[in-house]
Chain A
Amino acid sequence: MSQDGQSKNDGHKDRVGRRGFLKGAGATGAALGASIAAPAAAQAPAAPTRSAGPPDIAAETLPPAPDSQQQSSSGGDFMVDVLKTIGFDYVTQTPASTFRGLHEAIINYGGNKAPELLSCVHEEIAVAMAHGYAKIENKPMAVMVQSTVGLQHASMALYNAYCDQAPIYMIAGNLTDSTKRLFGFEHAHSAIDPAVIVRDFVKWDDQPGSLQHFSESAIRAYKIAMTPPYGPVLLTVDGELQENSIPNRAALTIPPVARVAPLQGDSGAVAETARLLAAAENPVIIADRLARTQDGMDRLIELAEVLQCPVVDAGGRSNFPTRHGLNHSGRSGALLAQADVIVGLEVNDFFNTLHALSDRIERRSRQITKPGAKIINITARDLSPRSNYQDFGRYQPIDLTIPADGQDTLPSLIEAVRKLIDGGRKSALEARGQRLVQIHNTMIENWKSDATLGWDMTPVSLGRLCAEVFDQIKNDDWSMVGNGIRVTWPRRLWRFDKNYRWIGSSGGSGIGYNVAASLGAALANRKHGRLSVSIQGDGDLMFSPGTLWTAAHHQIPILYVMHNNRAWHQEVMYLQAMCNRHGRGVTNAHIGTTITDPNIDYAMMAKSMGVYAEGPITNAKDIAPALKRALAVVRKGEPALVDVVTDVR
């Protein structure tokens, strides 16, 4: 593009596509090669008897030995055929020379469609976008990175995706052969095993040595990423392999993409779980990273209603409607203390769930379940263990572990439970359900009452902020794609009734996730016509502010509402705890934990990158009008940001 934004080819009636151009160029090149070949041959030493003499002017002024200027195919083209076979819609990237061959093939040979190339200003953004996208679309996005510096930039977001069991399809360009590297940076940008820095948190990686190898590994990688537990995969792809021509395209094959059958639990173990649940007086179901699709939510509703059993939605995904009478997420402690049977469905940290933890000088944990409570865990997580990073949590004794996918196992569990509930039992369960609904309704009313506290305060209370946002989006097909406040108030005040209403958190608690993952999820929501909203923390935004440029550049509709408390506030409280632990007072706790002096103008920052923005808003009465104006922009298909200065928590 020229500086005036116009393509150099714009207005050329005789524009030639790349294929046509190369076809012609190939013929020209061949003719040129022939014309050069003759004089080159002519300058060869004529006879061994010729001694050193005056310079051979003719030889020294001739062009160098023939070097092919153009080629009619590239390994990158074949790689695009493979990516199209898999069915990627998008590939995110920050441009880098080690994948220039594949980059060019995607935008020209592939027509920049399926996959379409998206520009990000940092690799962490590229991966986090893919993370959010996967949780809405239930399939991976491809991400291209440079193999050393790019992969290192990407690694934080990759770790989040691994912890969150999200499929990401990484392609790292690398220059394997040192004799093919030209400049100093090309050596610094190459490694013999680039994947080693992320191998602890990708499910599988490979470094194909040929195009056929690439084809087979690419299909294998996709299958592994999409087999529960989902996770990131990585292919390291040599630059020469991408750029050089294909010796024999007809000899290359692309395997079909394998369908992965549901990973259901063992029938005997499922039957035992059903017996325990059906006979329990106080059963509890805990769902965490369970519902990948709406079917997961629908099945969980069915199971809960058959049993008239309370559900604790731990929030790893949107598993259960917030206004369903059996949703008792807000009183998990009381429920678990009384429970006689607890069934976990893809629970991330069971020990933490079943214990009260205390962050004191002596760190303590106290089991909150009563002795003898039966604990069952249905999870695919045990099928892909890693050792180094400790995200699997502390060991929790379990009575029965079913190593299977939670969502895939729900149909057989429901069927088994139904068989066990006769008429008499059904009446007892219905009575239990009615009591639970009453408790649920009281809980909702109490939460609404809580939200009235500080209703008109400045800075704005989080309860007020969330109530204002929901009032503006409740009639849209909304999707909360990010949440910098641990989804606290929205789960109390909003009606989450679809699986896509909430996508879960980062997984690894790596800051910088929210803004970019929100955008990736918003991209996935775009084709479904959904309104994407993200409550955005200021600390998180400052890790990846360039995300806003990608939002504007690719016209991805999303509303960011800032929870701007001008701090990394979790750390403020940790520092306060440390200060008082040593009896030194909290006067200095702001040092190193706050984002003030100067305050950041997020609206100005967003505007500078082409995003509609308003704020900072400090008066709660100004929120609704600002949201209306911003949402008008979003509903037209563009991003917007409303900066609200909020109370700290």
Chain B
Amino acid sequence: MNKILPLAVMMMVVAPAWAQTAPKGDPDNGRKVYLADGCFQCHGRVGQGGLMTGPAPILAQTKLPYAAFTRQLRNPINDMPPYPAKLLPDQEMADIYAFLQSLPGRRPVKDIPILDKN
């Protein structure tokens, strides 16, 4: 938790506009919930998305506004399973959102020769 607190504080400072309306979340707990509730089974352990399901959108540093994010969890469109409040309380949604914002995003392709040159 000691490691997480600075990250959460940092997020409050640097969080992008789409995330600023989100309630404060605990990214460490968000990671635990993200794994325990099976989000990773479609979206990948670091939110890299999945091509074989849907496809499942990329969630790392998602630009989905928090309101849309919660709406998709409660009443999902397409084939995503619904997560009602009794399975996923509001605070845990906020934690997951914080976790997703804390994930490292894309790297420049030019920094990875086997992607850049192939």
Contacts and interface: CB of A to CB of B under 8 A. Distances in A.
30 contacts: A358-B79, A445-B109, A449-B109, A450-B106, A452-B109, A453-B44, A453-B48, A454-B45, A454-B48, A454-B60, A457-B48, A461-B46, A462-B51, A467-B114, A468-B114, A474-B118, A485-B52, A486-B52, A488-B52, A494-B118, A573-B53, A580-B81, A580-B83, A580-B87, A581-B82, A586-B81, A647-B40, A647-B44, A648-B41, A649-B50
A296 interface: no
A453 B105 contact: yes
Interface of B: 36-38, 40-42, 44-53, 56, 58, 60, 78-79, 81-84, 86-87, 105-109, 112, 114-116, 118
Interface in A554-577: 569-570, 572-573, 576-577
Contacts of B46: 453-454, 457, 461
Contacts of A489: 51
Contacts of B118: 467, 470-471, 474, 493-495
Contacts of A470: 114, 118
B40 A576 contact: no
Contact of B115 (A467, A576, A589, A647): A467
Nearest to A586: B38
A649 B105 contact: no
Contacts of A372: none
B contact face: mostly helix, strand, loop, or mixed: loop
> What 4 pairs across the A-B complex have the smallest Cβ distances?
A580-B81, A649-B50, A453-B48, A488-B51
Contacts of A358: 78-79
Contact of B45 (A452, A457, A486, A581): A457
Interface of A: 358-360, 445, 448-455, 457, 459, 461-463, 467-468, 470-471, 474, 485-486, 488-489, 493-495, 569-570, 572-573, 576-577, 579-581, 583, 585-587, 589, 647-649
B53 A649 contact: yes
Contact of B81 (A450, A451, A576): A576
Given A358-B78, A358-B79, A453 B114 contact: no
B115 to A, nearest CB: 5
B60 to A, nearest CB: 6
Contact of B47 (A360, A453, A570, A580): A453
Contacts of A459: 45
A577 B107 contact: no
B109 A463 contact: no
Contacts of B45: 454, 457, 459, 647-648
Nearest to B116: A448
